[in-house]
Amino acid sequence: MNSDVLVRVSGLHKSFGDSEVLKGIDFEVNRGEVVAIIGPSGSGKTTMLRCVNLLERPTAGRIEVDSRVLCEELPDGSMSFSKKAEIRAIREHVGMVFQRFNLFPHFTALENVIEAPMAVKGLSRSDAEARAHELLESVGLGHKADSYPLQLSGGQQQRVAIARALAMDPALMLFDEVTSSVDPELAGEILQVMKRLAQEGMTMLVVTHEMGFAAEVADRVLFIDHGLIVEEGSAKQVLANPKNARTRAFLRAVLERAPMAEEGDPAPEPAGSSAPGLSQIVEGSDDVEQ
């Protein structure tokens, strides 16, 4: 049960109809590790993340979370998925935070946080509420417990969503571009919460476009392009010293907030002349600290 590896993904493939979105992904996440996933739009980051708690069903490959197998290929090549109850048992320990919050709009912040602990873990209302108040407090929203999602800013909604996921006491947290649909000046308050979580030792898999956050918080960075992990390494190495031409092109595009170079012109520059500003980002992030 207590191996150091919390997530083990191998040979992960996913197709939607005829289009193959994931083309053989392998990676592991150790307990307490923060792994950032970066890559161009449409490269398969969201799909990959959603496979980890089986919101998306892989077409091939094996996924193991906390030593429990969610899916694997049988010798005859067909896929075998865990039973529904088993999948739910795993999801209890995997929190997910979405780009568009997905709070329950007819519930208050507090009700959003207590619903699953009560329904799934069988907590009493008073225990669930006590814990929820603690969590809302910890994300700086103690005073918003009785507000409805539409009464909150994007940054506040996302922090409620994080509290909601944490209320299940997850061993692993999945974040999918959780700052992308909030105003840039509100991203900081979300990143702050995530940074503290990381410091507390939470295992996190973070899809992000916030390179500053990746540089400062992530232990490792995976760069995905066209459904494959193209480059993988320590945050410092991948972000400041990318080996792969695609990674370099992507990072430069992100820094310049310019559209991504199209396939087929992989910026034939010598290594070392990587995008300007990268080293500053790795050295000290100004995105995160407010």
Partner 1 sequence: MELDWSVVGRSWDLLIGGTWVTLQLFVWSLALGTVLGLILALMRLSRFRALRWLSLGYIWLFRGIPVLVALFFAFFVFGRQIGLSPLQAGILGLGTSAAAYKAEIIRAGIMSVDPGQYEAAEGLAMTRRHYMRRIIIPQGIRVMVPTYMSNTILVLKVSSVAVAIGIVELTGITRQLSNSTNRPIELFTAAAFIYLMLTTVLVIVQEILERRFSLKT
Ligand X SMILES: Nc1ncnc2c1ncn2[C@@H]1O[C@H](COP(=O)(O)OP(=O)(O)OP(=O)(O)O)[C@@H](O)[C@H]1O
The reply to whether 21 sits near ligand X by the rule CB under 6 A is yes
Residues in 163-202 at the binding interface with ligand X, rule: CB under 6 A? 177
Q: For residues 118 and 253, which CB has a smaller minimum distance to partner 1 in the complex? A: 118
Q: How far apart are CA 112 and CA 103, in angstroms?
A: 7
Residues in 27-46 at the binding interface with Mg ion, rule: CB under 5 A? 46
Q: For residues 40 and 117, which CB has a smaller minimum distance to ligand X in the complex? A: 40
At CA 38, angle to CA 36 and CA 40, rounded to 5? 170
Q: For residues 139 and 254, which CB has a smaller minimum distance to ligand X in the complex? A: 254
Q: For residues 20 and 92, which CB has a smaller minimum distance to partner 1 in the complex? A: 92
The least distance separating Mg ion from the CB of residue 177, rounded to whole angstroms, comes to 6
At CA 198, angle to CA 194 and CA 88, rounded to 5? 80
The least distance separating partner 1 from the CB of residue 108, rounded to whole angstroms, comes to 8
Classify each residue of 4-37 as buried b or exposed e, where b means 16 or more C-beta atoms within 10 Å of its C-beta: eebbbbeebbbeeeeeebbeebebebebebbbbb
Which residues contribute to the site for partner 1 (CB under 8 A)? Answer: 53, 55, 88-89, 91-92, 94-96, 98, 100, 102-106, 115-116, 119-120, 148, 150-151, 161, 164-165, 168
Q: For residues 39 and 149, which CB has a smaller minimum distance to ligand X in the complex? A: 39
Nearest Cα residue to 194 out of 177, 210, 215, 217: 217
Q: Which does 43 bind (CB under 5 to 8 A by kind): ligand X, partner 1, Mg ion, none?
A: ligand X
The reply to whether 161 sits near ligand X by the rule CB under 6 A is no
The least distance separating partner 1 from the CB of residue 178, rounded to whole angstroms, comes to 13
Is the Cβ–Cβ distance between 243 and 232 less than 8 Å?
no
Site map (CB under 6 A) of ligand X, residues 37-56, x = contact: --x-xxxxxxx---------
The least distance separating partner 1 from the CB of residue 149, rounded to whole angstroms, comes to 8
Query: In 10 A of CB 194, how many CB atoms?
Result: 26
Q: For residues 143 and 243, which CB has a smaller minimum distance to partner 1 in the complex? A: 143
| Angle separating helix axes 154-166 and 125-138, nearest 10 degrees | 130
Q: Which does 120 bind (CB under 5 to 8 A by kind): partner 1, Mg ion, ligand X, none?
A: partner 1
Q: How many residues belong to the site for ligand X (CB under 6 A)?
A: 11
The least distance separating partner 1 from the CB of residue 65, rounded to whole angstroms, comes to 13
Helices and strands (H, E) in the chain, number of each type: 10, 11
Is the Cβ–Cβ distance between 158 and 182 less than 8 Å?
yes
Q: For residues 84 and 257, which CB has a smaller minimum distance to partner 1 in the complex? A: 84
Is the Cβ–Cβ distance between 62 and 11 less than 8 Å?
yes
Q: Which does 155 bind (CB under 5 to 8 A by kind): partner 1, ligand X, Mg ion, none?
A: none
Q: How is residue 109 written in tokens?
A: 């912040």
Q: How is residue 184 written in tokens?
A: 């840039």
Is the Cβ–Cβ distance between 239 and 215 less than 8 Å?
yes
The reply to whether 285 sits near Mg ion by the rule CB under 5 A is no
Strand 228-234 versus strand 203-207 pairing type: unpaired
Site residues (CB under 5 A) for Mg ion? Answer: 46
Site residues (CB under 6 A) for ligand X? Answer: 16, 21, 39, 41-47, 177
